[in-house]
Amino acid sequence: VNSPIEDRFLTDWSGLRRGAPSELHRPADTSEVAAIVRRCHASHRSITVQGGLTGLAGGAVPADGDVVINLERMNRIEDIDDLEGVMRVQAGATLEQVQSAAAAAGWYFPVDLGARGSCQVGGNAATNAGGQRVLRYGTMRDSVLGVEVVLADGKVLDSLTCLVKNSAGLDPRFLFIGSEGTLGIITRLVLKLQPPPGPPSAAIAALPDVASLARLLRHLKQTLGGMLHAYEFMSRRFVELSVSLTSVGSPVDPSAPWAVLVEARGVQGQTVEESLQAALAFALEDGLISDCAIAASLSDVEAFWRLRQSTPELLTHLKPTVNFDCGLPLRHIPGFVDRVDARLRERFPAAQHLFFGHLGDNNIHLVTGPHREEDMHSVDELVYRELEGHQGTISAEHGIGFIKKPFLAHTRCAAQIELLRSLKRALDPRQVLNPGRVLD
Amino acid sequence: VNSPIEDRFLTDWSGLRRGAPSELHRPADTSEVAAIVRRCHASHRSITVQGGLTGLAGGAVPADGDVVINLERMNRIEDIDDLEGVMRVQAGATLEQVQSAAAAAGWYFPVDLGARGSCQVGGNAATNAGGQRVLRYGTMRDSVLGVEVVLADGKVLDSLTCLVKNSAGLDPRFLFIGSEGTLGIITRLVLKLQPPPGPPSAAIAALPDVASLARLLRHLKQTLGGMLHAYEFMSRRFVELSVSLTSVGSPVDPSAPWAVLVEARGVQGQTVEESLQAALAFALEDGLISDCAIAASLSDVEAFWRLRQSTPELLTHLKPTVNFDCGLPLRHIPGFVDRVDARLRERFPAAQHLFFGHLGDNNIHLVTGPHREEDMHSVDELVYRELEGHQGTISAEHGIGFIKKPFLAHTRCAAQIELLRSLKRALDPRQVLNPGRVLD
């Protein structure tokens, strides 16, 4: 266990590096995790909890002297209850493993993100992961029915329920989902499965202005209801660059200021292309959209998604970049986008500023670059300042970890931060679990 | 404010009475609530928080000397954001007010229960209310995006966000939703609205045995997906008595041991009767159901629901009754129902024992009566004993309050109860807010 610690355990996808941990443990089950935590608790030592190390906020990056608990060996699918549509798994199972096991049982696990092959469901829960399908199925929180957690003193809390309703006292799972490993280590989970959806229908629409993005979303929610599965927006510059970096041609007028990828799905065996077509035809007549291409085949659907998911290529092309994961109420989005775009162009005229993301979840990603190292903090400050007073968040889905900690007060007020502190004091008074993440 | 306290503030729908409170306050806004709480905190006095007093667990019933804060005057719909589909309200607005305001704005608030005209959305959130539409839309928790809360020391926590995704630290709303007013007083809420569904199609099916209930549910989930809006089961004796107490004839063979009411809905302007028919025809061929009646009109749909919702008449007819609100994994339900039914018949041969409820949410209601006062505790013990070892809950949707507190350990293990205690100590060390509810 305590031979030299491999490099891969020292950083995550954020690229942050903090130091040399003293020990690495890869426990095989909950009782092994509990034993390590008990020992660290007794000797007041700091633990860093690690899942698949795909985080973008540096939360799983260890500091000097930390005891690292990596859950990669706890990757067993323990049970699938086909009648109920639930699955019990160890926290170190990858998201892809869970998706495949669900599909093999005739069910569907809806949480999905680019890191699916490496990220672990325990980490997805600890950070309340979002991804591509939040609009229809919610975040990870909505797909976790029960958890087993090792608490800061090494006690095991078993709340592995599969019940969708339980009003017998506060539900403990919500203390651990989204708390980034600071209040307990999630070791096992009961996941809620969904009936598999039918085949996807998709379209890309061009929009005349950013205000139309929110109005089209409202129209599609009202007409497609639960059939609306994705609503992903892209700025003109995003589409242009994505077209040039991928082999996909622009399916709509590339001079339109905004484009949106819409996906609709029904139940198994049902195609919903007609409903999607009718909803978009109405939007075209109404002037909400200026142009529209509907996928004629599954390979068109894939090409549309390829255009939207070219972020890795864009990041490489524009590096070094500063990346954002903001959330805002829809009514504040046009003003926010216009102001941030104008100020970034003025201040950094040589850089590109690309807006895109899960607009159906109020989530705006912004990639801006290239930037010099010494300008990066100013870029952060410029963008986060524009969020103030608009009930926005600095992290819609990536979490706070270490990297976004300096900016937390842009999103959470003093009373909220004090509440988080009092929870940490109550549940981990010795600061054993992931100290220094989210809060100081 | 402090004239003699009206009788209606001394009890709730459970009928429990505990004593004479010393003061009653009906504040008009958050700052008035905060001022009362600050004063009670300073002088170590106990507060009872009251919504619409429709609870069935006695949580809002005051004890001798309590300071009662009743929120009925805080009933303002403050804002509806039509673009986003969210509503900001004061906690004392009734559920019906919220439903009507949503409908008037072209949206739909999905939480619904019999007490809608009296119960308040603050109470619905504090108890994480369930009701008729959980299968499709989740519990109250899933319809609350943000809360404003007065904490035990009178500080106001503003988390009135409308964002569906916010990963900037733990989401504080989940400490207050479902904690029955023991950790804070919810004073305002941001509610998530849904697109209005299309017209309901409904059917009543007869089933040969209790195991088929779960298998039919799985089949309908898989074939109807998000169109499946309700799955309510009734035992033969429930149907017989309901038929005799209402003017509704039995739409299916009344000698079948089990019946289920299925409701399906699509989006606005869409009828889903054909999908429902096809799914049930398959179930009939497959032997999952033995008989089936599909509503031919909206008045048929209403009659089917009338049969299911005859509980007030049943309770009167069988009184004094003992009533249950259990939840169990589907695979344990047949055994539980068979064992409880057999033991109740054996022990109380003169009483009736009716099983029914939201099976789609794992929720079994049981009404048994008439019982003598001195037998009631034995009835409780008999039923809860059968839950043990089956990952069930003693309260799927009604909460714990005072009345179910003695039985909490049937559902929550020692580590869970200790966690709830440590939250109470951290957030309300002086035991100001609803002391004695849920936990001692």
Nearest CA in chain B to A358: B165
- The CA distance from A424 to the nearest CA of chain B, in Å, is 10
Residues of B in contact with A160 (CB under 8 A): 391
- The CA distance from A349 to the nearest CA of chain B, in Å, is 30
Listed in sequence order, the DSSP H helices in B189-332 are 210-224, 236-245, 273-285, 298-308, 311-318
Average pLDDT, integer, range B3-18: 91
pLDDT at A389: 87
Q: Which of A82, A362, A398 sits opposite B167 (nearest CB)?
A: A398
Q: Which of B158, B329, B412 sits opposite A415 (nearest CB)?
A: B158
From start to end of A342-412, where are the E strands? 352-357, 363-369
Q: Which of B179, B226, B399 sits opposite A226 (nearest CB)?
A: B226
Q: Vertex A406, ends A404 and A412: CA angle to 5°?
A: 80
- The CA distance from A408 to the nearest CA of chain B, in Å, is 7
8 Å CB contact of A425 and B427: no
Q: Vertex B82, ends B77 and B83: CA angle to 5°?
A: 145
8 Å CB contact of A168 and B138: no
- The CA distance from B247 to the nearest CA of chain A, in Å, is 32
Type and span of the H or E element at B354: strand B352-357
Nearest CA in chain A to B267: A225
Q: Which of A15, A36, A119 is nearest to A75 (CA)?
A: A119
Give pLDDT tens digits for B223-265: 999 999 999 999 999 999 999 999 899 999 989 999 999 999 9
Give pLDDT tens digits for B108-130: 999 999 999 999 999 999 999 99
8 Å CB contact of B169 and A391: no
Nearest CA in chain B to A164: B361
Q: Which two tokens stand for residue B247?
A: 């003017």
8 Å CB contact of B226 and A223: no
Q: Which of B168, B224, B413 sits opposite A393 (nearest CB)?
A: B168
Tens digit of pLDDT at every position of chain A (440 positions): 456 899 999 999 999 999 999 999 999 999 999 999 999 999 999 999 999 999 999 999 999 999 999 999 999 999 999 999 999 999 999 999 999 999 999 999 999 999 999 999 999 999 999 999 999 999 999 999 999 999 999 999 999 999 999 999 999 999 999 999 999 999 999 999 999 999 999 999 999 999 999 999 999 999 999 999 999 999 999 999 999 999 899 999 989 999 999 999 999 999 999 999 999 999 999 999 999 999 999 999 999 999 999 999 999 999 999 999 999 999 999 999 999 999 999 999 999 999 999 999 999 999 999 999 999 999 999 999 999 889 999 999 999 999 999 999 999 999 999 999 999 999 999 999 999 999 98
Q: Provide the 10 A C-beta neighbour count for residue A388.
A: 11
8 Å CB contact of B168 and A413: no
Residues of B in contact with A413 (CB under 8 A): 157-158
Which residue of A30, A133, A165 to mutate against B (max B Cβ within 10 Å)? Answer: A165
Ramachandran region, residue A312 (left: φ > 0; alpha: ψ -120 to 50; beta: rest): alpha
8 Å CB contact of A169 and B408: yes
Q: Which of A156, A165, A223 sits opposite B363 (nearest CB)?
A: A165
Long-range contacts of B292-300 (CB under 8 A, 24+ apart): B292/B203, B292/B204, B292/B205, B292/B206, B292/B252, B293/B203, B293/B204, B293/B205, B293/B251, B293/B252, B294/B201, B294/B202, B294/B203, B295/B201, B295/B202, B295/B203, B298/B199, B298/B200, B300/B202, B300/B251
pLDDT at B82: 96
Nearest CA in chain B to A407: B168
The label of the residue with tokens 């072209």 reads B106
Size of interface A-B (CB pairs under 8 A): 277
pTM, two decimals, is: 0.97
pLDDT at B247: 85
Q: Which two tokens stand for residue A158?
A: 């078993």
- The CA distance from B366 to the nearest CA of chain A, in Å, is 16
8 Å CB contact of A412 and B130: no
Give pLDDT tens digits for B29-58: 999 999 999 999 999 999 999 999 999 999
Give pLDDT tens digits for B174-228: 999 999 999 999 999 999 999 999 999 999 999 999 999 999 999 999 999 999 9
Q: Provide the 10 A C-beta neighbour count for residue A127.
A: 30
8 Å CB contact of B167 and A400: yes
8 Å CB contact of A165 and B85: no
8 Å CB contact of B400 and A106: no
Three-state DSSP state, B415: helix
Give pLDDT tens digits for B142-182: 999 999 999 999 999 999 999 999 999 999 999 999 999 99
Q: Which of A161, A167, A227 sits opposite B128 (nearest CB)?
A: A167
Amino acid at A324: F
pLDDT at A254: 87
pLDDT at A395: 95
Nearest CA in chain B to A415: B157
Share of chain B above pLDDT 70, in %: 99
8 Å CB contact of B170 and A420: yes
8 Å CB contact of B415 and A134: no
Q: Which of A328, A329, A415 sits opposite B157 (nearest CB)?
A: A415
Q: Which of B157, B214, B395 sits opposite A168 (nearest CB)?
A: B395
Nearest CA in chain B to A421: B426
Q: Which of B32, B51, B30 is nearest to B434 (CA)?
A: B51
Q: Which of B165, B169, B183 sits opposite A400 (nearest CB)?
A: B169
Residues of B in contact with A143 (CB under 8 A): none
Please say if the pLDDT value at position B409 is more than 70: yes
Please say if the pLDDT value at position B2 is more than 60: no
8 Å CB contact of B223 and A170: no
- The CA distance from B249 to the nearest CA of chain A, in Å, is 32
- The CA distance from B157 to the nearest CA of chain A, in Å, is 6
Residues of B in contact with A399 (CB under 8 A): 167-168
Average pLDDT, integer, range B62-89: 97
Average pLDDT, integer, range B90-115: 98
What integer best gives the mean pLDDT of chain B? 96
8 Å CB contact of B400 and A167: yes
8 Å CB contact of B85 and A221: yes
Which residue of B56, B142, B170, B331 to mutate against A (max A Cβ within 10 Å)? Answer: B170
State how far Cα A436 lies from the chain centre: 21
Query: Are the C-beta atoms of B55 and B399 separated by less than 8 Å?
Result: yes
8 Å CB contact of B218 and A82: yes
Q: Which of A170, A394, A422 sits opposite B168 (nearest CB)?
A: A394
- The CA distance from B95 to the nearest CA of chain A, in Å, is 19
Q: Provide the 10 A C-beta neighbour count for residue A269.
A: 8
Query: Are the C-beta atoms of B177 and B249 separated by less than 8 Å?
Result: no
8 Å CB contact of B415 and A156: yes
Type and span of the H or E element at B357: strand B352-357
